[in-house]
Chain A
Amino acid sequence: MKSMKFLTATALSGALGMVGAVGLPAAAAQAEDLTLCWAAWDPANALVELSKQFEEESGHTMNFEFVPWPNFADRMLNELNSGGQLCDLLIGDSQWIGGGAEAGHYVKLNDFFDAEGISMDDFAPATVYAYSTWPKGSENFYALPAMGDANGWFYRKDWFEREDIRAAYLAETGEELREPQTQRELLQIAQFFQEREIDGQTRYGAAIFTERGSEGITMGATGALYAWGFQYESEPGSYQMDGVVNSAAAVEALEFYKELYETATPPGYTDSYMGESLDAFKSGQVAMAMNWFAFFPGLYADPDIGGDTIDFFVNPPQEVEASTLGGQGISVVAYSEKQDAALEYIKWFAQPDIQAQWWELGGYSAHNSVLNDPGFVDSQPFAGDFLEAMANVQDFWQEPTYAELLLAMQRRLHDYVVADQGTAQEALDLLVEDWTEVFEDEGKL
């Protein structure tokens, strides 16, 4: 009897196994466990929410690997350089696109876009140029614009509207207190608030980026440099930097940033980036702060400092209108074994209705259908500023050697602005020397 039961069980198991062998692999081939890698910040949470819809529609499971910003580049570039298979999809910084394309980390998406009818003309040109193409401006696409972003400003609207503060500002400067229209006006306002007592507490002018370790001070100072018309080379692709990077206008802009740091920031802001800027503003220390647009939805929704308390403005111009580019494109990692499913995600993400939901959830869509919607500007208090910023964004070098170029700039700027060593002219001259050496090693000079 026992042996009969055993035989029956074995036969059933075999039969089930046969059914499984025929039926299950078909389902398994469709359902994949995808991992999407990005930085740990507000928009990443919005993407998790958005991706639930993809899971429902496709049957794939989405996993997320989010790394804090200070470690993001180290962690992800190590992963790519080692040919790691952790990430199937990567939302990588715009500066990585050159290295990602040349080292073969990213899948080239042209054929996929053609086959699926995804047109790059549907996305804002600045984001396609910055997040997707290598060489720059070519028709080679390695990413789909995923998260449009730029460096902007926000301020204590409630303080700016208070009669006593407005009167004091008028008395001191002879001007009305308003959203700054130029970099110089921004400095003047920040200096007005510096160490001013408001509601019994000492307040300060502005929280700016001065961080040394990753990219902070470069992203902050370029906000001023670009506004003075800073360029990286005399002609695109020439790598001729002398007289351009260290031009008189660039020197003036850098001196301005140092003055802003020295006369209008809270004590101890020698190594501050995104987190410190948010902390300074949320704790009521500063009247104004710079940060990426990506944080603005969260700031506006904040019960303590959001709503009517806060307002936003685009990086003020000086000689020209310009903002520092942030944001990222989404790429398929070449080492992934689930590239088909990953491409499915990109196809899904590129749909106009998904892009509209992305914006609603707090992500910054770069899709024209969202940006050109008549209701977009009024959809959020920062939406108009975002559009304005994205029309004039400039990005750092996107060369494969961007890390060397970035570290050199971090060092020279921090030496001058924070450590007070040498002059602005010397700092930029040395930067030209550093960058020349890098491009010489690359054989580009």
Chain B
Amino acid sequence: MGFIILVVLAAVAYGVALKRAAGTQGTSKAWHSRPGHFAWYALGLAIGPAFLVWAAWQIFGGSVVSGLVAGGLPPEIAALPPLERNFFLSEASRLAYGQPTIREATPEVVAAAEAYSRYFTIGTVAMWAAIAALFCAGLAMALGRIAPDTRARNAIERWVTTALLAAAAISILTTIGIVFSVAYEAFRFFQSVSVFEFLFGTRWSPQMAIRADQVGSSGAFGAVPLFTGTLLITTIAMLVAAPLGLLSAIYLSEYAPPWIRSIAKPVLEILAGVPTVVYGFFAALTVAPFVRGLGESLGLSVSSESALAAGVVMGIMIIPFISSLSDDAINAVPRALRDASLGMGATRAETMRQVIFPAALPGIIAGLLLAISRAIGETMIVVMAAGLAANLTANPFAGVTTVTVQIATLLTGDQEFDSPKTLAAFALGLVLFLATLTLNVVALYVLNKYREKYD
């Protein structure tokens, strides 16, 4: 509602300024800015500050009102324990904003609710008064500046450039947000569990004891089994994806007739676009029973959630990623190298192995590193197919768990933010973030350091 009023006000400012500027300017050519520029200029001056006031009230108004009400509580309520006082306040706000209350409203609650509505009304009226004043002042200022030598266009362009810069800076904010939120919670975790125990402990059982004498819930936070599990599944995935992806890329870029390429490229794109939850379902429903049956026919004992099933399906997911990055690397090798080698009488395979592949190697290695980083961070496939048992094993037929699985499991369901069980997820998230970041940086370094610069 308030937003619509602001839009209407903006339209008014634009229209008034446009009319005034066009009327003053007439057909004169000696003006720096066109009437449209003055209109936008007026719109910005009149609505910009007003919008900020409105947005500030939307975001902070609720807490300001609650703070005022909490400050003015009668002493016997203010003396209540925090939990009950908060309940009292939320009851009062529910009553004030017309939502159903949980308990029958007592006279104190009704009084507090009245305080809520009173402060809220005062705040809203004050906000609209401020908006009206800012709007009128801004519009008057803009209209007063309609003159031949006002640089209205430059002002607008400065605003637009600033807005574009702000949009670009959101990426920095996101990174800061990730680092701070994850690192802060991880820091709280490391206050109760030592970093050394977390990184090098070999027992993972994050169930905290509810009673002191409970069996089997000691709360061990040694993450080594998770790291080895992640490593095992990633290795299996890369063993599947690296040869298939690389050879597909070589075949498609060097040998494939156009009609095969016109089929294979979209197929790989579809594979890349399939959501990971679909791969997870495929792994759990089709591949895991198949692996189990295969192992049993060979006389091996295979757990129903084996690392092999999750790893193979993750490998399938990564094939298009590797193939497209390798394809780029191979295509970046200049035509002249290829032609020279073929001209010397080398076969295509020899050219590939001895000329193009070495030249494309930095790009291919960077691609493989990015693929590993993606495999480490992949969640849904392992959540659905790899299981929860934190086994310290290199046996691909056993069930293992990974860092991402544990993050997802620890944070699903009801959580309190003061138990090490929940905070452990953030410590794992921090490890994951740092690991993928490192891989990404190393990949970029390899690419920049070893890539041959032709031409």
A and B interact = no
Residues of A within 8 A of B (CB): none
Residues of B within 8 A of A (CB): none
